[in-house]
């Protein structure tokens, strides 16, 4: 087990508290394994009727995977494929699959930062997920900003967002708040942070078998307090620009729009990895017709190619290690990205019978 994952059972509910506050609960391999062990143990445990995922800190539920570890482990292996990296992504994606198909209500308190791998451990499937946001929620799939792509099931849940909102979130990597999360369908309930102590008391006092209904009733009066969604207000603009068939066409469309929103989005995209924005768009196109297991298998293939290419290592170097904020993307511009470059990320790495996620169903 991990010292950064604290578990307990009370009144028919299994509680998981992420406790790595200095790193905003960034996931290590040990944390992934501790989460998996707890959820597997409780899946068939008659004492546990529901699960609650929360944080010991108000700053973040989980800021994602431990990207400094990605950088160090990737640099240590000549092809970016160290055994520790292989284990991390295989086990993290298997955990995402377990959460999506969990047979019991899975309540995620998405207070503070929830990004990347944090989304993967918070996005329970439609049969189990109860996702709560607050006014402090800062949600994103920001991977293109570090030369990666929206993984942890992002090819599934982003590709199923209304209209072109999933493409917008995945290709730009921009951050949204509570109202936008509710509008996109990445959250279910809004609770003001001032009400979280009362919610915690409710979670402790309510039998796990009645937790889903109790949370919904508690949160219902606060829905309007989440405020207006900017993405809803900009929906026509987003659908028009991000409905284009390629990232260069999206950029050209945005460039022709003098509106403040379009120009803000365009400026953000100019700092992202050109190659990984294109890979992300292709990932979402493919993910739209795949189930969760096949999406995760696809992502597992793409992440292996990503580390072999080295784009994520350069992104983490620039933003986290050296902090010069000047990544040297390869290629450096969108007009240099070819269809073949993108296609290489989807070429099989393993035969089907040897894929590390072949057992997911």
- The verdict on whether 45 is a catalytic residue reads no
Of 64, 65, 112, 120, catalytic: 65
Q: What is the largest CA-CA distance in the chain?
A: 59
- According to the model, what pLDDT value does residue 80 have? 55
Of 66, 92, 111, 151, catalytic: 151
Of 92, 111, 143, 299, catalytic: 143
Q: What is the rounded average pLDDT of the residues 32-40?
A: 98
Of 14, 80, 116, 117, catalytic: 117
**In the chain, what are the domain boundaries?**
5-354
- According to the model, what pLDDT value does residue 178 have? 98
User: Are the C-beta atoms of residues 126 and 160 closer than 8 Å to each other?
Assistant: no
- The verdict on whether 65 is a catalytic residue reads yes
Q: What 8-state DSSP symbol labels residue 27?
A: B
- The verdict on whether 180 is a catalytic residue reads no
CATH entry, 5-354, from 3.40.50.150, 3.40.50.720, 3.90.226.10, 3.90.1280.10: 3.90.226.10
pLDDT of 343 over the 90 cut: yes
pLDDT of 116 over the 80 cut: yes
The three-state secondary structure class of 275 is helix
What are the angstrom distances between the C-alpha of 2 and each of 6, 215, 222, 282, 299? 8, 29, 35, 36, 26
Q: What is the pTM of this model?
A: 0.96
What is the chain's length? 361
- The verdict on whether 154 is a catalytic residue reads no
Q: What is the tens place of the pLDDT at every residue in 193-248?
A: 999 999 999 999 999 999 999 999 999 999 999 999 999 999 999 999 999 999 99
- According to the model, what pLDDT value does residue 42 have? 98
- According to the model, what pLDDT value does residue 79 have? 59
- According to the model, what pLDDT value does residue 66 have? 87
Q: What is the tens place of the pLDDT at every residue in 130-188?
A: 999 999 999 999 999 999 999 999 999 999 999 999 999 999 999 999 999 999 999 99
């Amino acid at each position: 087990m991990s010292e950064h994952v604290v578990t307990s059972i009370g009144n028919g509910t299994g509680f998981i508290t992420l406790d790595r506050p200095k790193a905003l609960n960034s996931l290590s391999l040990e944390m992934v394994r501790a989460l998996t062990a707890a959820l597997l143990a409780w899946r068939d445990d008659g004492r546990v009727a529901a699960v609650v995922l929360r944080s010991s800190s108000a700053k973040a539920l989980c800021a994602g995977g431990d990207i400094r570890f990605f950088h160090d482990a990737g640099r240590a292996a000549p092809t970016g494929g160290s055994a520790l990296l292989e284990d991390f992504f295989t086990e993290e994606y298997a955990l995402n699959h377990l959460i999506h198909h969990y047979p019991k209500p899975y309540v995620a308190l998405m207070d503070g930062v929830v990004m990347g791998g944090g989304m993967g451990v918070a996005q329970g499937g439609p049969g189990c997920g109860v996702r709560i946001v607050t006014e402090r929620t800062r949600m994103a799939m920001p991977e293109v900003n570090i030369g990666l792509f929206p993984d942890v099931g992002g090819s599934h849940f982003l590709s199923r967002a209304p209209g072109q909102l999933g493409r917008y979130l995945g290709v730009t990597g921009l951050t949204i708040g509570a109202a936008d999360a509710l509008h996109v369908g990445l959250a279910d309930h809004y609770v003001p942070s001032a009400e979280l102590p009362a919610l915690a008391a409710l979670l402790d006092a309510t039998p796990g078998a009645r937790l889903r209904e109790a949370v919904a009733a508690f949160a219902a009066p606060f829905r309007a307090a989440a405020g207006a969604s900017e993405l809803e207000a900009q929906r026509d603009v987003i659908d028009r620009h991000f409905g284009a068939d390629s990232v260069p066409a999206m950029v050209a469309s945005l460039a022709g729009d003098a509106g403040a929103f379009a120009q803000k989005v365009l400026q953000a995209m100019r700092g992202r990895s050109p190659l990984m924005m294109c890979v992300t768009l292709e990932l979402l196109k493919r993910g739209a017709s795949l189930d969760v297991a096949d999406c995760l298998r696809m992502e597992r293939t793409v992440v292996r190619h990503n580390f072999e290419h080295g784009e994520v290592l350069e992104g983490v170097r620039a933003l986290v290690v050296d902090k010069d904020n000047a990544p040297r993307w390869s290629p450096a511009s969108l007009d240099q990205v070819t269809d073949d470059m993108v296609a290489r990320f989807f070429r099989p790495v393993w035969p089907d019978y040897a894929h590390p996620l072949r057992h997911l169903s």
